[in-house]
Amino acid sequence: MTDVLDLFVSFLRASILGFGGGPSMVLLIQSEVVDLHGWLSNAEFLDAFAFGNALPSPIATKLAAFTGYHVAGWPGAFAALLGVAGPTAALVILAAGLFMSRRNNPVLKAIIAGVRPVVVALLLYVVWDFLVEVFGTELSSWLANWYLLAIAVASGWLMQRYRVHPVPLIIGGGLVGMLVAVA
């Protein structure tokens, strides 16, 4: 029972301190799970992280489910998931409620006007970060990965021009990747 409670508290702590979304939380989760409680060895954690990256949806919730189940079965998985996702979601609901009801307040409007461009900048940076991760910074590595570039251009074009749903594009990209891998 103490394990279940510890799981909830640990993942709550990682979640509430994790600004900037899932990836920034991985280090916090690692320090809770490996360093503080010793629930997983570092090698086990890295394996779980690598495996989690192969599955869809946020990494933090997958690490929570995996660690919780590993430590205390289904109750553990549930407690860790609740800790990682529940309180911050409640916080967003609360904050959004306050924000939406004061949306026309001139002070708040000025703040939002300043914040919106930054959110765009942060998202553009994510795109840039992904680009460097996939293609590197050398022109030669961009050319060597020409088929990945072709996938990016084709899927962007199909989405923009023909309103193709993201899901078939994601599956299609994955299938092309598989074909190239075996060819």
- For residues 35 and 128, which CB has a smaller minimum distance to another protein in the complex? 128
- For residues 119 and 143, which CB has a smaller minimum distance to another protein in the complex? 119
Where helices occur in the chain by DSSP H, the ranges are: 2-16, 22-30, 42-54, 59-101, 106-135, 139-144, 146-162, 166-182
Beta carbon of residue 170, minimum distance to another protein (angstroms, whole number): 5
Beta carbon of residue 119, minimum distance to another protein (angstroms, whole number): 5
Distance (Å, whole) CA 53 – CA 172:
19
- For residues 20 and 38, which CB has a smaller minimum distance to another protein in the complex? 20
Distance (Å, whole) CA 116 – CA 78:
35
Residues in the chain, overall count: 183
Beta carbon of residue 35, minimum distance to another protein (angstroms, whole number): 20
Beta carbon of residue 143, minimum distance to another protein (angstroms, whole number): 15
- For residues 36 and 122, which CB has a smaller minimum distance to another protein in the complex? 122
Q: How far is CA 23 from the centre of its chain?
A: 6
